[in-house]
Each structure stands twice: as C-alpha cells, then as structure tokens.
Structure 1
C-alpha cells in the first residue's frame, strides 16, 4: 500500500524500551527535534512480555507512533548462556506491541531489527535482500530468529491490515547507556571496560576472546536515533532499511584503537579457543544513503565520548555507594 511522506509527527509517540541504549538515544533525538508528546514506561511499570499489560497500556494511551526498541539483548556469551530467554522474551515483546498497536489504530510503527538476522555467510557488504537466504550464525540464532519473526509479523500486518510498519536493521551499536557488564555486553563496551580496568590495576596483559580476525562495523547510537527519526518522518515502504556506516575493521584493530584511546600500555593476548562469531558483518547502506541520510560520528570520536560517559557514570555510581 502506498503511503504519503509522514513529515512532522503529529500526535503521541511511544518509545518501547526508552531506558535502553537505543531507546534513550531516541528520547534525546526526539527532544532535540522539539517533540513533547512522548510516552515512556520502564519495564517495572510495564512488562511488555505480558499480553494483558501491553494491551491495557495501548488501549488507555493510544499512541499514534511507536518506536519498538524494547528487546532482550546481549553479546556472544549471553546468547550462548540464555538462548531460550532470548527467543521467548523477544517473541513476546514484539508480538504484544505489534498487535496492540494495530488494534488501537497506531498510525506508524518502526521496528528495530538487528544485523545478526542476516545469514552467517551473506555477501559483503550485506544487502537487505540477503534476509532468509542462508543459515544464521549459531551463536546468536535464537535472538536472530525472534527478530526475523518480528520483521515478518510487521510486514504481514502491513499487507493484511494496511498498518504502516517499517523495519530497520542497525549494525553493531555503542554509546551512552550501553551495557558494560562482562557477562552480557557486546564487544566494544566490554573492551572499553577491560582496558580501563587493566590500566587502573597495572596489569601487564589483557586476554581477549577469539583470534581478532573477525570484522565488524560500529555505529554510534545517536547516529542510529537520527536515522530512525529521519525514516519515521520520511519513509513508508515495507522494504527493510540497513543503518550503518558502510565501514568496518577487525576486532584486533578495534582493540588496538581502544587501547590507544584508553592509554593502556600492556600486551594484548588472544584466546583462539573462544569463538570469533560471524567472520564479517558489514552492511550495504546504499538504500538509506539514497534516501538522504548518512552517519556523522567517527568511530574514534564516538569511542572517546563513550569512554567519558562510562567513567563519569561509574564514578557517580561508586560515589553513591559510599
């Protein structure tokens, strides 16, 4: 179904997952654009895994626009340890929000997918058309399958009911409000914390997972938020949209960059008995660039500001414990 360009969003805007990495960036972006009718609920106030609670919220508030950024997320370790939780929780969250939004007349919904939905051996850079063309990376298969189900449900609601759903596929994200827990974090914040602590403790070396040869693309979460707001205002097709930088580097190169920024002088060792994950994951961003958007925050600049946020946040937490 053809839709007009949305332009300025007039009405209530609900950000599902507003306290997470992506959701908090969306809050900042929308506030900077002058949007005031923003709905947000913490997971304690609203458990999106509950069908009853989710429908009750939507029937009461009736948001006009929804950014579906709520999800259970984590790195290789967390995905391997809790595969059932990653699959079941994300299926519940997505299905409840999508169906409740449809029932209550939501004008437009943006679904946040993930680049891990693409096949392990997808062509590089990965075009949106690669979805469902091959086996997934085993280490995050449950999470990826949940996200694929969400994309297909959003597309099906558009086709069956005419609901204006769009789906975006961000690359690896980092930035303020990221998760720095060693057990559940993604690679970039884990490396930042590891090098910071190694420097503070005077450790002679740091051992990292894998061989360091896997290649990854990284996007600052504030750039992602800008892209999502841009697409919510201007894009109305069912075709997926990749969001990334179009640039990648090896994990070994990333580690060296973070070590330099942190100022750690010790040795980096690699534990090849640990998994590398997908060999390479670089998104084809030609579609979103053709629409008129591209990222603005360089990786080094983004890492420096994220490091500053992490140190300030950690120091504030430690001061509060005294």
Structure 2
C-alpha cells in the first residue's frame, strides 16, 4: 500500500474499536492518515492494542442516530476525506438466525446514515464492507464479482446476509443518482487477532479456538463437509486499501484460493493449539451452503496481494490468542 496516498488525509472508521475496524485504524495511522475512530461501546482491551498517536481521535456515538452522525461530520474535523464503514451487527450462524430482524434493521440504518452523511458533506470516497454472504444459493462454481446475485434473489432468513445485499443496492443507487465514489469489498470468512474469543456469538475460528484451549469438544453442525475459504484480517485491510488506491473497480471479492471444509478447519485448529482432537458432528443442525468459494483474480491483479496461507494465519492467530490468554490469567 502506498503510504503517500493517505498522508494527512482524514479518515472516519466506523466500528473502529471492533475486530476489523481496529485493523483499519492501525493500518491507516501507519500510512500517515488522521483517523477518527467511531465506536459505540468503549473497549479498554481494544484501546490498549491501538497505537498511541496524535493523529488518532476517538469518538463514541450511535451510528443509528442520523443527526449524531451528521454532527460528527460537521464539527469534529474541518473535512472528511474518506469513510471506511466496518460497523455492523454480526455473529455466528445461530446468532444471525435468532436476531435477524435486529441485525437487518440496525445494519441498514447505519449504512444509510453513513451514505447520507457522505453525500451531504461531499466525502470523496467511501468503502462499505460487504460480505461473500451476498452470494446466496448452492453452487460449486467460483463466485465472480459480476455474477448478478440480485437478478433472481433468493430469500434467506439470515438478516445479516440481507443487510449486506441491500447495503450494496443502496451503494449502487447512490452511485447512479448522486455520482458518489463508493467501494464495496466482499470478504470471505475473516479471522485473526482481536476477534471475539469469548465464545457465544463469535465467528467459527475464535469460537473453535476458545473451546479447544478450554479442553472442550468442538461441535460442528452437519457432517463438516461444507467448504469455505478464510482471509486474515490484515490481508482484508490491505486488499481494501489497495482497491481504493487503484480506483479501477468498485466491487471486489477478497479471499484466498484455499478451500477447506469445516471439519478440516477444526482439525487444523486442534493441531496448532497442540490439543488432542475432540470433535462431535451434530447432523440435526443446519449447515448453510455446501460450498462458497470466491473468484479472487481481480483482487490479485488489482492489488498484487498474496494472502498468507491459512496454516500460517491460524498459527499467528493462535499465538496472539494464547499470549492474551496468558496475560489474562
């Protein structure tokens, strides 16, 4: 990533104390940007991991409140050069199904507020973090950015997937009606340091890792044959910023060409943590799509990024997790 591009620019990062947002904050500060970190809930653990910098400003606000967001754009800084929108309600499959209405309502409202503020205050560029979950349906083929997943849209009770789909629709319509410069990165499953390792509604990698470290069994929904790909959070950040630097494409799949079944993932995590395997398959639970693999040639050609192999990223994540766990004990 070219550091000169961001030097002295003011960037708002929504969800800046979250898993993904905090990595954007860190990378942008390293690139010389002035960063306004917008967050809803103060997290002392996350604050302690961000670099101390005179170019970092922390701002607590409710992104579902339009006037509050507009006030931030109007009064906090003389100008806003870019918004990186990471804030969203998210979680594992069970959480998404149980909280679909809340997730859809919240995520759409904050996305709408971000876009409205970007338009009102003439923000030159916006990145809306989307998701590979916009590709609903069953297919073993690689999923390309130009696949029109909305032409024959399939209903899903997953409010998170719906929020990302309609967030992209909002982005498209704002581009057409208002001529806005909006980038939409579509990452596959994201993992890495600073994720939620407390269990509960967390993503699959930290949830499995936490259970393994605690000496518990890992329960996999279905037979574990469902195939996914994973991207390290730092690689996601660098690919997104590289996409914005090149300006050639407004939509980009971000992931790897390294498919792995959920069962293989669990086995890999037992190995990196040095614990004997304890895996139970729950064949009565829903599994989601049998396969979801992205065509990532655009990402490679545009950004030149070579994401780290999964075994390297998992080992780095395990080392971070174990070091934080040791400090907590």
Structure 2 length-normalised TM: 0.87
- For 2:290 and 2:202, the matched residues in 1 are separated by 19
Tell me which residue corresponds to 2:87: 70
Tell me which residue corresponds to 1:231: 243
Offset of residue 207 of structure 1 = 3.4
Tell me which residue corresponds to 1:255: 266
Tell me which residue corresponds to 1:215: 227
Tell me which residue corresponds to 1:264: 275
Aligned length: 306
Tell me which residue corresponds to 1:120: 137
Offset of residue 122 of structure 1 = 4.3
Offset of residue 137 of structure 1 = 7.5
Offset of residue 42 of structure 1 = 2.1
Tell me which residue corresponds to 2:14: 16
- Residue of structure 2 aligned with 1:285, choices 296, 305, 308: 296
- Look up the SS of the partner of 1:128 in the other structure: coil
Higher relative contact order (CA 8 A, sep 6+): 1
Distance 1:181 1:134, change over 3 A: farther
Distance 1:104 1:206, change over 3 A: closer
Offset of residue 121 of structure 1 = 1.7
CA-atom RMSD, angstroms?
A: 2.1
Deviations 1:181-216 (A, max 9, x none): 432111111111111111xxxx6x543322101001
Deviations 1:217-253 (A, max 9, x none): 0000000011111112112544x21011122111111
- Look up the SS of the partner of 1:310 in the other structure: helix
Tell whether 2:319 aligns with 1:308.
yes
8 A Cα contact 2:130 2:185, kept in partner: yes
Structure 1 length-normalised TM: 0.89
Structure 2 residue ranges without an equivalent (≥5): 42-59
Give every structure 1 segment of 4 or more consecutive aligned residues whose post-TM-superposition deviation is greater than 4 Å: 133-137
Offset of residue 314 of structure 1 = 3.0
Tell me which residue corresponds to 1:146: 163
- For 1:70 and 1:85, the matched residues in 2 are separated by 14
Distance 1:317 1:101, change over 3 A: farther
Tell me which residue corresponds to 1:97: 114
